[in-house]
A and B are shown apart, each in its own frame.
Chain A
C-alpha cells in the first residue's frame, strides 16, 4: 500500500504544572500492546486511546478515555508499559508519590472495554527507576516486570503469577530465567571483561557502571531472545532456552543506547539498536554464526540528532515489517528492508517532520475501521496519522477483486471472523 499519511488529530499536552516534582518530568508516555491497544499518559492520567464511539457519525473525535484509579491526586506517572495476554491487558505504571517521595510500581489488569481495574498489585521501588518493561515469561504463565534504575546498575525482575488474577510470585528465580541480567545485577565492575566481546570500538573506556537503559524480550518457539542496551554503549544479546543459555554476545558502541528491538523479517532474526549519538544500527540475522557482526547503519539516521525511539511494524501490508524511528531532530522516518545477496538493505520510504522531538511511535487501528493509524508522541503532544483513505480504498478494492476472482485465498466469511465479531461488544 502506498505510504501517504495525513494528520488526523493532534492532542496537545498541558504544560507541566509548577506544583509537580522537579525531579521527575511529567512527560507523556506511550505504549501499545500486541493487540493494538494504545495507552498513553497525558497530564498524569493513563489514557486508552480510541475513537469516540458515539453513535452520531458526525461527531467524530478522538476520545482519550482515562483509566480510573490509576493515580491519586498529585502523583506523577513517570513510567508506563502494557502487555496483552489471552485473558486481559496488563498495565504497569510507576508513579512518584509527592507525599513521601516514594516510587511505586503498580501492576494491574485492565478491562479495555470498561476500563475497570482488577487485581492491582503495588510495590515500592527503592530508587528512581528509568525503565519498566512488561514481558511474558516463556516457561510459565508468569509475567515478568523488569525495572532498571538511574543510580543503581541492576535490574529488578518482579514476577507475577497470572492465572486470571495477578499475584506476586514469592520465589523469583531470576538467575535461571535471565542469567545475563543476573550477572549484570551483581557483577562487580572489574568482572565485566570476562564476558565474551565481539570487538572494541574507539579507545578504551572506563566502565564504572552498567546502567541499563532499554530492554527487549522476543520469544520465538523455544528460544528466548533478551537484548538490553546500557548507558556505556553496550548492546547485550542473550539467547536462552528453557534449560540453558545458548549464546550471549556484547557489542560495544560509542554512546548510550536509547532503544533495542528484536524482530524477525524474511525468516531472519534481527536486532535494531539506536544510539543517543545519532545512529541506528541493524544487526541482521543474529542467530547465524556471525552473531552481531553482520550490521549496517540505517541511512540518514545520523542526520537528525539523537534517535529516541524505534518500532517495528508492517505498515504497508506487504507481509514484511518496516522500521519506524523517531528522532530528537523532530523527524519520523520509515525504512523498508530489502534482501539482496542474503543481506538486508534498508532504505527510506517515508518521512515526516514535526514541530518538536519525537518520543514514541505506536501503530494501531484506533478508528476501528480495519486499517491502522500511526500514533506518534512528540514533546508537544500526541499526533494521529491517518492514511490517505482514497489510496487505501483502492488498495482494498484490489484485494477484494483478487479474492473474488480466486487468485488469493481470503477468509472473508471465515469462522474465526464471525467469532471475532461476536466477541467484541456492539456499541
Chain B
C-alpha cells in the first residue's frame, strides 16, 4: 500500500476542516447539524490512524533489513581484523624471539665478563650462575621467587616447589660451583605429604656473597624486563655479618729484633719447672727464652735459626731445647744452673743468662721444620725434620758419637717440595705423619709393624688426600669430642680454608676469608678439647673448635705479623694460662697472656638454668622468657 506524506497532510487538513466546521457549528449552537459531521470526522481519523500503523510496519521492516546488512558488514570487518591481528602477533613473536636471543647473548657476554672479573676479584662463577638462574626462573614463570638471606644464609623459596627440575638445577649449580662461596645446599623444613613446598636453603660464605648474588640477580632482571623491575634485595635482610668478636687486653711486649721464621718460635717448658716459657730465635743467630715478664736466657751467633722445638728428646724425663739452623747445625740446650753464666755484655739485662749448648751436631742443610714426638711407638721421642723434599727421623742414642742417630730406613723422599708436616696419634695408638705437598695434597705415612713385632715400617703411599689448594700450615693431635674423642688433624690452605680431617676423611671445611699462615692448637676454654687457632698476616686470629664454632680476635698492629704462636704461658707466678704471641715486623713480641674464653659458642644463663632444680617447677618451665622473669625476680627480691 502506497502511502505518502502528502496524503497524510491531506487527511490532516480534512480533519482540521472538519473540526473547524464542528467548532463553528458548536458556536452557532446548531447541535442537531453536528452529528453527521462528527461521523465524518471519525471515519477520517480512523483512516488516518490505519495509514500511520501501516507506514510504521514498513518502516520497521526496512530498519531490520538495514540492520542485517550492517551486521554482515561488521562480521566481514571483524574477520579482516582478526587476520591482521594474527599477522601482527606473528610479527611480534618473531621480533620477541630476536630480542630474547640478543638478551641471552648479552647475558652470556655479561656473565663471561663477570666471570673473568671474578677470577681477579674472588667472585665465584657459582654466584653468577645462581643469579642467572634466579632471574630466568622468575621471568619465565612470572611467579614469586623469594630470596632472603639471613646473615650468611641465602634461602630460596618457590611457590611451586614440586618442580623437581628446579631443585636439581639449584643443586647442580651449587654442587658444581665454587665451594668457597657456597658451603651447603639442602632442603630444610619438615617434610609433609600435603606440602611439597619445602624451601631450599643455600648456605653461602657470608653476607657479601648473598648481596653479590642478589645484586647480580637484580642486574639481570632489569636486563630482561625493563618495565617491571623487581628488587630482590628488598627480601634480603642486609644486616652486617656479625661473627662473634672478642678483645683481649692483658699483654706484655718484649723486644726482639731481627727477622725470624714462623717455626722458630714456641711456647713450652724449657726449665722443667712446670710452667711454660717463650722460646724465639732469629736469622742472625740470636736465641732468647722469655720467662714471665723478662728475658731469662739467651744465646748468640748460632747461625740462621730456621726452626726450634722443646721436648724430651733425650728421653730422660727432662725437656731440652732443639735448635736447627739453615747451615745444617743442630744445637741442643739443656736447662742446667751450673752451666749458666751471667751476661756481661749487656748490663741492663742483668737477669739474662747466656746458654751454652750441651750437644752440637751436623745435620743436612735447609731443614725448615722439626717435630719432637714418639712416632715410632718405641716409647721414646724422635726428632722428625723436613728438608726440601725429604722427611727424616732421628732418634737419640747416648752411646753413639753422633748422638742423634738417623737410620736410612727412616727417610722418605718425595718428588716435590714439602710444605708442612704434622703428626697425629689416634686413640688406638697408631701414628701417622701427614705430609703436605703442593699439587699432590696430603700424603699420610702410617706406622705398620713387621712380623717379629719389633720394627716399624712406614708406608709412604698408604693413603692420600687430594686438596685443591696448597697447604700453608697443618696441625695434628687436636683433641676433640667428636668421632669418639679421637684426635683430629687440621689444615689451612692458601685460599683461606680451614679443613678438619679425621684420618683421611674430611669432617668439615670452614672458609676464613683470610690467608692463614699459622695454625696452632691449645685448649682455650678449659673443656679438655683443643681449639685450633689460625692467624692471618694482618693479625686477624680465629679460634675454631671441632664443631666449627668460631670466635674472632683482631690484633691491632700497624705493621704485619711476622710470626705467630699460641699455647700456654705462665705470667708472674701464675699457672699456665692460654696465651697468644704475635711477632711484628717492627721487632715487638707481643704476648697476650691469660686469654680467657668461657666457650666458643655463646652461652646464656638459660643453658645453665636447664639443670636447676626447685620445688616450684622451675626446671619444668619451658618458656625461656618466663625463666628469665623468675631469675630476675629472684635476684631483685632475694638475698643469700
Q: Are A414 and B602 closer than 8 Å at their CB atoms? A: no
Structural contact, A12 and B554, CB atoms closer than 8 A: yes
Complex interface residues of chain B between 572 and 630 (CB less than 8 A to chain A): 596-598, 601-609, 612-616, 618, 623-630
Q: Which of A62, A63, A353, A413 has the most CB of B within 10 A?
A: A413
Q: Which residue of B248, B556, B603, B614 is within 8 Å of A400 (Cβ)?
A: B614
Please judge, given known A-B contacts A389-B608, A390-B608, A411-B633, whether A395 and B245 are in contact too, CB under 8 Å.
no
Fill in one digit per residue for A59-90: 1 if any B CB lies within 8 Å of its CB, else 0. 11111100000000000000000000000000
- Residue with the highest number of chain A CB atoms closer than 10 Å, among B614, B618, B627, B629: B629
B235 within 8 A of A: no
Say how far A201's CB is from chain B's closest CB, in angstroms.
35
- The answer, among A59, A397, A414, for a CB contact under 8 Å with B633, is A414
Is B113 engaged at the interface, CB distance under 8 Å to the other chain? Answer: no
Assuming the contacts A353-B249, A380-B247, A396-B612, asked whether A61 and B634 have C-beta atoms less than 8 A apart, the reply is no
Given contacts A63-B242, A370-B635, A410-B637, contact A397 B612 (CB under 8 A): yes
Contact pick for A355, options B249, B635, B638, CB 8 Å: B249
For residue B316, CB closer than 8 A to chain A, the reply is no
Q: Which residues of B contact A411 (CB under 8 A)?
A: 633, 637
Which residues of B sit under 8 angstroms from A381, Cβ to Cβ? 247
- Contact partner of B623 (CB less than 8 A), chosen from A54, A393, A404, A421, is A421
Q: Among the interface residues A9, A10, A60, A370, which one has the most CB atoms of the partner chain B within 10 A?
A: A370
Residue B150 at the A interface, CB < 8 A? yes
Other-chain contact of A370, B246, B249, B629, B638 (Cβ < 8 Å): B629
Contact of B638 among A54, A352, A402 (CB under 8 A): A402
B239 interfacial by beta-carbon distance below 8 Å = yes
> With the chains together, A12 CA to B539 CA distance in Å?
15
Residues in A neighbouring B602, C-beta threshold 8 A: 8-9, 60-61, 386
Q: Collect the chain A residues with CB atoms within 8 Å of residue B634's CB.
A: 396, 399-400, 403, 410, 412
**Complex interface: chain B residues within 8 A of A12 (CB):** 245, 554
B223-281 residues with Cβ-Cβ distance < 8 A to A are 239, 242-250
Partner among B150, B246, B604, B612 whose Cβ is within 8 Å of the Cβ of A60: B604
- Nearest-Cβ distance from residue B575 to partner chain A, whole angstroms: 17
Q: B168 interface residue, CB < 8 Å from A?
A: no
Chain A CB count within 10 A is highest, among B597, B608, B638, B640, for B638
> Are the C-beta atoms of A424 and B625 separated by less than 8 Å?
yes
Cβ < 8 Å to A, chain B residues 529-581 = 554, 556
B427 at the interface (CB under 8 A from A): no
Alpha-carbon separation in the docked complex, A369 to B610 (Å): 12
B609 surroundings in chain A (CB, below 8 A): 369-370, 393, 396
A314→B408 CA distance, assembly (Å):
71
Q: From residue 348 to 397 of chain A, which have CB atoms closer than 8 A to chain B?
A: 352-355, 365, 367-371, 380-381, 383, 386, 388-390, 392-393, 395-397
Q: Which residues of A contact B631 (CB under 8 A)?
A: 369-371, 396
Interface residue? B30 (CB, 8 A):
no
Known interface pairs A389-B605, A392-B608. Does A417 touch B242 (Cβ–Cβ under 8 Å)? no
Contact A9 B608 (CB under 8 A): no
The distance in angstroms between the C-alpha atoms of A402 and B616, with both chains bound, is 12
Cα distance A421–B629 when bound, in Å?
Answer: 7
Enumerate B34-72 residues with CB–CB distance to A below 8 Å. Answer: none
CA distance A386 to B623 in the complex (A): 22
Contact residues in A for B191 (Cβ distance below 8 Å): none
Contact A408 B244 (CB under 8 A): no
State how many angstroms separate the Cβ of B419 from the closest Cβ of chain A: 33
In the complex the two chains form, what is the Cα distance from A6 to B244 in whole Å?
A: 14
Q: How far is the CA of A420 from the CA of B634 in the complex (A)?
A: 15
Expressed in whole angstroms, the Cα–Cα distance for A163 and B282 within the complex equals 72
> Known interface pairs A369-B606, A369-B631. Does A9 touch B245 (Cβ–Cβ under 8 Å)?
yes
Determine whether A19 belongs to the interface, using a CB cutoff of 8 Å to chain B: no
- Answer whether residue B632 sits at the interface, using C-beta atoms and an 8 A cutoff: yes
Q: Contacts A369-B606, A389-B605 hold; do A396 and B556 have CB atoms under 8 A apart?
A: no
Secondary structure of the B contact surface, majority rule = loop
Q: A371-B631, A424-B625 are in contact. Are A10 and B246 (CB under 8 A)?
A: yes
Q: Is A426 an interface residue (CB 8 A)?
A: yes
A389 CB, min distance to chain B CBs, angstroms: 5
Q: B639 near A: Cβ within 8 Å?
A: yes
Q: With a CB–CB cut-off of 8 A, which chain B residues contact A400?
A: 612-614, 618, 634
Chain A residues contacting B556 (CB-CB under 8 Å) are: 355, 380
Residues of A137-160 at the interface with B, using a CB-CB cut-off of 8 Å, are none
Please give me the residue from chain B that is nearest to A420 by CB atom.
Answer: B629
Distance of A10 Cα from B624 Cα, bound (Å): 25
Which of these, B239, B606, B608, B632, contacts A63 with CB under 8 Å?
A: B239
Beta-carbon contact of A370 and B605 below 8 Å:
yes
**Residue A317 at the B interface, CB < 8 A?**
yes
Instruction: Tell me the bound Cα distance from A205 to B554 in angstroms.
Output: 47
- Kindly provide the distance from the CB of B154 to the nearest chain A CB, expressed in whole angstroms: 15
Chain B residues with CB under 8 A of A367: 604-605
- Closest CB of chain B to A160's CB: distance in Å? 31
Task: Give the residue name and chain of the A residue nearest to B626 (CB).
Answer: A421
Interface check A318, CB cutoff 8 A: yes
CB distance from A114 to the nearest CB of B (A): 15
Q: Which residue of B lies closest to A368 (CB)?
A: B628
How far is A313 from B247 in the complex, measured between Cα atoms in Å? 24
Residue from B597, B613, B639 in contact with A319 in the complex, judged by beta carbons closer than 8 Å: B639
A369→B628 contact, CB < 8 A: yes
Shortest CB distance A427–B (Å): 8
How far apart sit A384 and B556, CA to CA, in the bound complex (Å)? 19
User: Is the pair A61, B625 in contact by a Cβ cutoff of 8 Å?
Assistant: no
Which chain B positions have C-beta within 8 A of A398? Answer: 640
Q: Which residues does chain B contribute within 8 Å of A176, judged by CB atoms? A: none
Q: How far is the CA of A412 from the CA of B605 in the complex (A)?
A: 17
Task: Give which listed residue, B244, B614, B623, contacts A61 with CB less than 8 A.
Answer: B244
Do B247 and A404 touch across chains, with their CB atoms under 8 A apart? no
Q: Are B618 and A60 in contact (CB under 8 A)?
A: no
> Which of B247, B625, B627 is the most central at the interface, judged by chain A CB atoms within 10 Å of its CB?
B247
Q: In the bound complex, what is the Cα–Cα distance between A354 and B249 (angstroms)?
A: 6
Are B605 and A399 closer than 8 Å at their CB atoms?
Answer: no
Cα of A409 to Cα of B625 in the assembled complex, Å: 21
**Distance between B199 CB and nearest chain A CB, rounded to angstroms:** 14
B630 touches A64 (CB 8 A): no
In the complex, A339 has a CB within 8 A of chain B: no
Question: Shortest beta-carbon distance, B511 to chain A, in Å?
Answer: 17
> Which chain B positions have C-beta within 8 A of A122?
none
> Chain B residues with Cβ under 8 A from A368's Cβ?
604, 624-625, 628
Contacting pair A7 B635 (CB below 8 A): no
Report B365 CB to chain A, min CB distance, Å. 43
Residues in B neighbouring A390, C-beta threshold 8 A: 608
The answer to whether B623 and A403 have CB atoms under 8 Å apart is: no
- Determine whether the beta carbon of A383 is less than 8 Å from that of B247: yes
In the assembled complex, the CB of A358 is this many whole angstroms from the nearest CB of chain B, namely: 11
* A123 part of interface (Cβ distance < 8 Å): no
Contact indicator B612/A393 (Cβ below 8 Å): yes
A36-54 vs B, CB cutoff 8 Å, 1 = contact: the mask equals 0000000000000001101
The answer to whether residues A410 and B242 also contact, given A370-B627, A421-B626 and a CB cut-off of 8 A, is no
Q: Is there a chain B Cβ closer than 8 Å to A198's Cβ?
A: no
Closest to A403 in B: B638
**Structural contact, A6 and B596, CB atoms closer than 8 A:** yes
Q: Determine how close the nearest CB of chain B comes to the CB of A163; give it in whole angstroms.
A: 29
What is the chain A residue whose CB lies nearest that of B607? A389
**Chain A window 156-185, contacts with chain B (Cβ cutoff 8 Å), 1 for yes, 0 for no:** 000000000000000000000000000000
Kindly state whether residue A58 has any CB partner on chain B within 8 Å: yes
**Which 10 pairs across A and B sit closest by C-beta, in order of nearness?**
A370-B631, A370-B628, A369-B605, A393-B608, A369-B604, A400-B614, A404-B615, A10-B247, A367-B604, A412-B616
A-B contact pairs, 16 of them (CB 8 A): A9-B245, A9-B246, A12-B554, A58-B601, A62-B242, A62-B244, A317-B635, A318-B639, A354-B249, A369-B624, A369-B631, A389-B607, A403-B634, A408-B638, A412-B616, A421-B629
Known: A355-B249, A365-B632, A380-B247. 4 other contacts (CB 8 A): A389-B608, A403-B616, A409-B637, A420-B629
